[in-house]
Chain A
Amino acid sequence: MYVAVKGGEAAISNAHRLLADRRRGDRSLPAIGIEQIVAQLGLAVDRVMAEASLYDRALAALAIRQSRGDMIEAIFILRAYRTTLPRFGYSKPVETGAMLIERRVSATYKDLPGGQLLGPTFDYTHRLLDPSLLGDETVEAGLEREEPGEAVMRVSDILADEGLVEDDGSLPDGHVAGDITREPLEFPMARDLRLQALARGDEGFLLALGYSTQRGYARTHPFVGEVRIGEVEVELDMPELGFSVSLGRVQVTECQMIAQFKGSAKNPPQFTRGYGLVFGQSERKAMAMSLVDRALRAEEFGEDIVAPAQDEEFVISHSDNVQATGFVEHLKLPHYVDFQAELDLVRRMRREYEAAQNIDLPEAAE
């Protein structure tokens, strides 16, 4: 129960002024610029874009600066901002097969068309703190090598040629892609809606759930068919012109997870798949998303639902960190009246308890 209480205005205003002061910090240091955040804390920016579900690097960087680097606060601010803008329309689906690739690795094939392209990865670094980054040493540009011009073939297409893997994932004819920003969540939900929710889901939550499937809570025995990172064109249909136009490119990370078999009397055994697609460079999130997507398809494959990662309502209802933080953090807001009621209740229970003890006493003495 909430009761309006007055008297906090001055304290709130002063607290916000103090927040601004602490956010700026030591005035003898230069203020950090939005361009610097975009350029040098790019993966933080990408995470905010992905979980706010809004692709705009400059605005995500502004949110990070405003939130003093508190990622969920930044995501919250950017998510709130998007509600102030009109919706112009839906893009044509991006073509990840035609991506301008910055990184692509496969754990299933050593030699594959396009090759293993490591790109700007933390993999194989020693995870030792680098003292050279304490200063501002000159950093050399990446090396260049002639690019062979070979198409970077999708791993799922290699397996599909042999019919050993299920197809990309179709939905019934006439199915219109649902939109969780327009309709309330309803369970059970179609896979397209789940993917939209997972794409904006909290990275830590999805990581933990994906991890749980590896540890035996809904085992799927997955392989990374491939992870690819790069830019794709965003095209919008222009009805007044009769054609679609490119609005520019966005960077995405895609993970094709290949999981163990499914077959039936009618269909020969084949690999199943989980899919992850995330704004920006976010391999961990895309991988976790694909694991959870696969686990959530338990019912479709007739698998026993025994683990949290397979429970659609549990996963999707708790994956949004803006909702989660809102409900958890509201607990610190005044609950004075609520608590008074509980205090009265426990006092009454205590009196009853003590009265019962007093009645019991003579019997105990006998």
Chain B
Amino acid sequence: MASLNKSAEVAGKDAGAERQKAMGLLAKASRAELQAAFGALADKPTVQPVRGPETGLVMVRGRIGGGGAPFNLGEATVSRASIRLDDGTVGHGQTLGTDGAKARLAATFDALFQQPARKAEVETLLDAVAARVAKEDAEKARQTAATRVDFFTMVRGED
């Protein structure tokens, strides 16, 4: 029994890590990406609002010296929404910025992600977002790499 509980706990943790990653990608998705993915759903879910969408602030923290004690750097706008699907699954969406509609779409996909039957559809969206973000990051990194200084030592004239 104890081992059963333990494996359930591990499974729960894995599911948590998966969902955490999915929510992070949904926050990075553009509203257009989420809208297009919602439009492409063959069977559109019925979505009941639970909370929001609402826009507020999160105080962004830094650390003294980069790794020391935390301090409050300044706030950022954040929009969030929570929704419920017909079967009671609750989804949460939260993203930087003031786009409440995007937060609501993210919440919808978060709820669908928790439904085993619909998870694959969300994963298609998540893969596309992850690929787009990775491509943009790689391009930026390559552009930055082109500005890296290649030092060389001048050979002096005398022997």
Q: Which residues of A contact B (CB under 8 A)?
A: 49-50, 53-56, 58-59, 82, 85-94, 96-97, 100-103, 110-111, 115-121, 141-148, 154, 156, 167-171, 175, 177-181, 191-193, 195-196, 199-200, 233-234, 236, 238, 240-250, 252, 254, 256, 273, 275, 277, 279
Task: A154-B66, A252-B62 given; name 16 further pairs at CB < 8 Å.
Answer: A85-B55, A91-B61, A92-B61, A93-B61, A94-B61, A97-B67, A100-B137, A170-B64, A171-B64, A177-B71, A192-B69, A243-B16, A245-B20, A247-B27, A248-B95, A250-B96
A58–B98 contact, CB under 8 A? yes
**Which residues of B have CB within 8 Å of A147?**
138, 141-142, 144-145
Q: Which of B27, B63, B96 touches A93 (beta carbons < 8 Å)?
A: B63
Interface size on B, residues (CB 8 A): 54
A196–B71 contact, CB under 8 A? yes
**Which residues of A have CB within 8 Å of B149?**
115-118
A87 to B94, CA, bound (A): 14
Q: Residue among A58, A244, A273, A277 with the most chain B CB within 10 A? A: A277
A249 to B136, CA, bound (A): 13
**Which residues of A have CB within 8 Å of B78?**
88, 236, 247
A141 to B143, CA, bound (A): 9
A90 to B58, CA, bound (A): 5
Chain A proximity of B81: nearest CB distance (Å): 12
What 10 pairs across the A-B complex have the smallest Cβ distances? Answer: A168-B65, A169-B64, A168-B68, A169-B68, A246-B24, A192-B71, A144-B142, A55-B76, A248-B96, A53-B74
| Chain B 51-93: CB-based contact to A (< 8 A → 1; otherwise 0) | 0001111111111111111111111111010000000000010
B75–A53 contact, CB under 8 A? yes
**Which residues of B have CB within 8 Å of A88?**
56-58, 78, 80
- Provide 24 A-B residue pairs closer than 8 Å at the C-beta atoms, listed in order of the A residue: A55-B74, A86-B54, A88-B56, A90-B61, A90-B72, A96-B63, A96-B66, A110-B151, A119-B147, A142-B147, A144-B146, A146-B142, A148-B145, A167-B68, A168-B67, A177-B69, A177-B71, A192-B64, A236-B94, A245-B20, A246-B27, A247-B76, A250-B60, A256-B65
A54–B68 contact, CB under 8 A? no
Q: Which residue of B lies closest to A155 (CB)?
A: B66
A169–B57 contact, CB under 8 A? no
**Which residues of B have CB within 8 Å of A143?**
143, 146
**Which residues of A have CB within 8 Å of B137?**
100
Q: Which residue of B lies closest to A171 (CB)?
A: B69
A319 to B64, CA, bound (A): 19
The secondary-structure label for the interface of chain A is: mixed
Q: Which residues of B contact A (CB under 8 A)?
A: 16-17, 19-20, 23-24, 27-28, 54-78, 80, 92, 94-98, 137-149, 151
A192 to B148, CA, bound (A): 34
**Which residues of B have CB within 8 Å of A101?**
141, 144
**A246-B28 in contact given A85-B55, A86-B56, A171-B69 (Cβ < 8 Å):** yes
**Which residues of A have CB within 8 Å of B96?**
55-56, 234, 247-250
**Which residues of B have CB within 8 Å of A82?**
57, 75
B140–A100 contact, CB under 8 A? yes
A55–B61 contact, CB under 8 A? no
B59–A91 contact, CB under 8 A? yes
**A54-B142 in contact given A86-B56, A192-B69, A193-B71 (Cβ < 8 Å):** no
**Which residues of B have CB within 8 Å of A103?**
144, 147
Q: Which residue of B lies closest to A293 (CB)?
A: B64
B63–A234 contact, CB under 8 A? no
A115 to B145, CA, bound (A): 9
Chain A proximity of B133: nearest CB distance (Å): 9
Q: Which residue of A lies closest to B60 (CB)?
A: A91
Q: Which residue of A lies closest to B143 (CB)?
A: A142
Q: Which residue of A lies closest to B17 (CB)?
A: A243
Q: Which residue of B lies closest to A275 (CB)?
A: B65
**Which residues of B have CB within 8 Å of A181?**
59, 72, 75
